[in-house]
């Protein structure tokens, strides 16, 4: 348990993309995304260019493309929404394969799909080439408010603990003959989610007590940003 | 005798909801002692522990650590002197790596640079976890996490180490390894536990807390062999364990 399935997004490697400072990668991602979002949907050539840049970065990073593609399933809800848009949007209609769909809806769906896909792919590339703690140190160097970095740090640290707790609760449910099959079972799932929330809240309180016990006064010492950085340089 | 490391006098405490947990506790622990705090569930053990480093403040009575009273003004120094190791290491280890977690306490004390690194190294060496400094805590085994949790507190060079159920959830090998680490430490220990053989092995002296008062205080052998006392406070020796058939490890 615990070990081995930690950072599901991170792909271990030593490429130049892996070694690049985290704060520069974050800035690059942010710049890239702003550019993609600001490009009008009909500039096909521009999007082809963006894709080419991304593919080049992925190639340099030596992260297997299938590794990234498998993780792109997070985009599915957006794809579904994009597919619905031509049908539910209003405006002038055009015929596509004999079905009348909304012209503005079609354009918007295309823009959403292409920009979303580029965004997800770029973010996954960052996640695959950067350890979470380096990412946090990078954000700290970018002067992201300390409190936000702390919150993200706790999220990274406790994600596994909470997922594990969730998995144990599911195993316990199923061991008593319960499997969620249809909508009538949702109340049970909802109660489990409530219990998980309370447990996590209580854990939060215990963690806070443990922090106070070691002299915490409101700011985390900037360890990862300083010590860890020169730690790596020494290698 | 010298000033006790831990001096609790007439400590009473009620939670805001009216539930009274402690009814006048007196407890002295002297330098170099290893004391087990025994008692049934709900006896107030955890409440007492939270008073020792000022997380909770006394309703009535006083707590002093090496002569320094636990008050709002002294809180930082008290928390350096009293190192509490909580039961669930996942509560205690909240940073991204073992190194950062061990450094958290001393960094809060204002240490930086080489002095900080030395504290971290020494603390990890004491628990045999120096090779794991760069690992994220959630990638360690439970026993390893418990040891790192001990190191996070040792790095603050406390005068007294307070352990809440140190042997819980450990497999026998990790339990023995932790016992070896604790006996090798040159520090005063107060150990809250249900694990009576562990108390017998590690602590020459035991204190029994029941319903918010100290009902017994003596050598662990005498406490564990006092059948009437044990039965009255829901303390039971595990099957097959008989302190009369063995002598406790030499004190010290």
- Residue B83 in contact with residue B156, Cβ under 8 Å? yes
Q: How far, rounded to the nearest angstrom, does the alpha carbon of residue A20 sit from its chain's CA centroid?
A: 20
Contacts of B84 in chain A (CB under 8 A): 210, 213
On the question of pLDDT at A235 being above 50, the answer is no
Residues B89-97 have a mean pLDDT of: 89
Q: Measuring CA to CA, how many Å separate B165 from each of A206, B117, B192?
A: 15, 29, 5
Could you give the count of Cα atoms lying within 13 Å of B158 in the half-sphere of its Cβ? 33
On the question of pLDDT at A233 being above 70, the answer is no
Distance CA A118, CA A55 (A): 10
Distance CA B145, CA B140 (A): 6
Task: Supply the ipTM of this predicted assembly.
Answer: 0.82
pLDDT of residue B222: 95
Contact B99 A133 (CB under 8 A): no
Q: Does A49 touch chain B (CB under 8 A)?
A: no
Contacts of B140 in chain A (CB under 8 A): 2-3
Work out the angle at residue B35's Cα, subtended by the Cα atoms of residues B229 and B215, and round it to the nearest 5 degrees.
30
Contact B79 A213 (CB under 8 A): yes
On the question of pLDDT at B192 being above 50, the answer is yes
pLDDT of residue B245: 87
Does residue B83 lie in a domain region?
yes
Q: Is B230 helix (H, G, I), strand (E, B) or coil?
A: helix
Q: Which residue has the higher pLDDT, A149 or A231?
A: A149
Mean pLDDT of all residues in chain A?
84
Nearest chain B residue to A156, by CA:
B96
What is the arrangement of strands in the sheet containing B68-69, beginning at the earlier edge strand?
A: B20-29, B6-14, B60-65, B68-69
pLDDT of residue B252: 41
Query: pLDDT digit string (tens) for B55-66?
Result: 998 889 999 999
Question: Domain containing B133: what range?
Answer: 6-242
Question: CA of B105 to nearest chain A CA: how many angstroms apart?
Answer: 5
pLDDT > 90: percent of chain A: 30
Residues B12-20 have a mean pLDDT of: 91
Task: Look at the block and give the residue holding tokens 């060496």.
Answer: B125
Work out the angle at residue A39's Cα, subtended by the Cα atoms of residues A38 and A41, and round it to the nearest 5 degrees.
120
pTM value is: 0.79
pLDDT of residue A234: 39
Domain boundaries, chain A: 16-130, 145-234
pLDDT of residue B1: 60
Nearest chain A residue to B95, by CA:
A157
Q: In chain B, how many domains are there?
A: 1
Residues A79-104 have a mean pLDDT of: 81
Contacts of A203 in chain B (CB under 8 A): 90-91
Residues A72-93 have a mean pLDDT of: 84
Does residue B25 lie in a domain region?
yes
Residue positions counted in chain A: 235
Distance CA A109, CA A104 (A): 8
Interface of A with B in 188-207 (CB under 8 A): 203, 206-207
Min mean pLDDT across A63-72, A176-185, B38-47, B119-128 is at: A176-185
Rounded to the nearest 5°, which phi and psi values hold at B232?
-65, -25
Q: Which of B154, B163, B95 is nearest to B130 (CA)?
A: B154
Nearest chain A residue to B138, by CA:
A2
Phi-psi sector, B123: left (phi>0), alpha (psi -120 to 50), beta: alpha
Contacts of B50 in chain A (CB under 8 A): 209
On the question of pLDDT at A98 being above 80, the answer is no
Does residue B71 lie in a domain region?
yes
Across chain B, which distance is largest between two alpha carbons, in Å?
A: 56
- Residue A128 in contact with residue A9, Cβ under 8 Å? yes
Any idea what the CATH number is for the domain that residue B132 is in?
3.40.50.300
| Disruptive mutation site among B83, B86, B104 for chain A (greatest number of A CBs within 10 Å) | B104
Residues A69-80 have a mean pLDDT of: 88
Mean pLDDT of all residues in chain B?
92
Residues in CB range of B205: below 8 A, 6 or more apart: B33, B34, B35, B36, B217, B218, B219, B220
Question: CA of B94 to nearest chain A CA: how many angstroms apart?
Answer: 6
Contact B109 A215 (CB under 8 A): yes
pLDDT of residue A223: 61
pLDDT of residue A85: 83
Q: Which of B191, A97, A119, A218 is nearest to A127 (CA)?
A: A119
On the question of pLDDT at A32 being above 70, the answer is yes
Query: pLDDT digit string (tens) for B204-217?
Result: 999 999 999 999 99
Q: Does A151 touch chain B (CB under 8 A)?
A: no
B154-167 per-residue burial string, b: 16 or more CB within 10 A, e: under 16: bbbbbbbbbbbbbb
Task: Look at the block and give the residue holding tokens 């622990």.
Answer: B29
pLDDT of residue A5: 40
pLDDT of residue B197: 95
Query: pLDDT digit string (tens) for A187-219?
Result: 888 888 999 999 999 999 999 999 999 988 877
Does residue B1 lie in a domain region?
no
Contacts of A156 in chain B (CB under 8 A): 96
Instruction: Write the DSSP string, chain A.
Output: --TT-S-TT-----SHHHHS-HHHHHHHHHHHHHHHHHS-TT-HHHHHHHHHHHHHHHHHHT--HHHHHHGGGGGHHHHHHHHHHHHH--S-EEEETTEEEEHHHHHHHHHHHHHHHHHHHHHHHHHHHS-HHHHHHHHHHTT--HHHHHHHHHHHHHHHHHHHHHHHHHHHHHHTT----SGGGHHHHHHHHHHHHHHHHHHHHHHHHHHHHTT--SS---HIIIIIHHHHHH-
Q: Does A10 touch chain B (CB under 8 A)?
A: no
Q: Which of A75, A170, A171 is nearest to A115 (CA)?
A: A75
Q: Which residue has the higher pLDDT, B77 or A10?
A: B77
Contact B80 A215 (CB under 8 A): yes
Token duo for residue B103? 């450094």
């Amino acid at each position: 348990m615990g070990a081995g399935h930690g950072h599901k997004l991170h792909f271990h490697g030593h490429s130049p993309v892996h070694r690049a400072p985290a704060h520069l990668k974050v800035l690059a991602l942010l710049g890239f995304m702003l550019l993609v979002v600001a490009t009008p949907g009909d500039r096909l050539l521009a999007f082809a260019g963006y894709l080419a840049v991304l593919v080049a970065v992925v190639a340099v990073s030596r992260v297997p493309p299938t590794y990234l593609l498998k993780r792109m399933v997070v985009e599915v809800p957006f794809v579904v929404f994009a597919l619905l848009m031509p049908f539910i949007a209003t405006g002038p209609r055009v015929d596509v394969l004999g079905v009348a769909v909304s012209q503005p809806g079609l354009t918007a769906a295309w823009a959403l799909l292409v920009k979303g896909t580029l965004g997800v792919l770029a973010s996954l590339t960052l996640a695959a080439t950067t350890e979470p703690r380096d990412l946090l140190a990078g954000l700290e160097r970018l002067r992201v408010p300390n409190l936000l970095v702390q919150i993200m740090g706790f999220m990274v640290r406790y994600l596994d603990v909470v997922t594990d707790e969730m998995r144990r609760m599911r195993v316990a449910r199923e061991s008593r003959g319960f499997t969620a099959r249809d909508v009538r079972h949702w109340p049970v799932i909802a109660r489990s989610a409530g219990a998980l929330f309370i447990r996590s809240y209580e854990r939060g309180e215990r963690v806070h007590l443990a922090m106070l016990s070691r002299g915490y006064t409101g700011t985390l010492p900037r360890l990862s940003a300083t010590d860890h950085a020169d730690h790596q340089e020494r290698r | 005798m010298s000033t006790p490391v831990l001096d609790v006098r007439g400590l009473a405490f009620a939670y805001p909801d009216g539930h009274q947990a402690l009814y006048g506790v007196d407890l002295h622990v002297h330098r170099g002692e290893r004391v087990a705090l025994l008692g049934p569930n709900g006896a107030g053990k955890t409440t007492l522990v939270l008073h020792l480093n000022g997380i909770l403040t006394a309703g009535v009575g006083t707590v002093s650590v090496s002569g320094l009273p636990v008050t709002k003004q002294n809180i930082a120094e008290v928390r350096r002197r009293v190192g509490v190791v909580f039961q669930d290491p996942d509560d205690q280890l909240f940073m991204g790596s073992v190194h950062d977690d061990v450094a958290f306490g001393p960094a809060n004390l204002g240490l930086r640079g080489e002095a900080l690194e030395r504290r971290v190294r020494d603390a990890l060496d004491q628990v045999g976890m120096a090779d794991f400094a760069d690992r994220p805590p959630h990638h360690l085994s439970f026993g390893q996490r418990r040891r790192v949790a001990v190191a996070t507190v040792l790095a603050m060079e406390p005068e007294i180490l307070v352990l809440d159920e140190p042997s819980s959830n450990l497999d026998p090998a990790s339990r023995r390894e932790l016992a070896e680490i604790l006996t090798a430490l040159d520090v005063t220990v107060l150990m809250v536990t249900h694990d009576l053989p562990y108390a017998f092995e590690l602590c020459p002296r035991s204190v029994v807390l029941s319903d918010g008062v100290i009902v017994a205080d003596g050598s662990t052998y005498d406490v564990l062999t006092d059948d009437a006392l044990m039965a009255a406070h829901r303390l039971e020796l595990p099957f097959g364990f008989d302190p009369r058939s063995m002598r406790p490890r030499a004190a010290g």
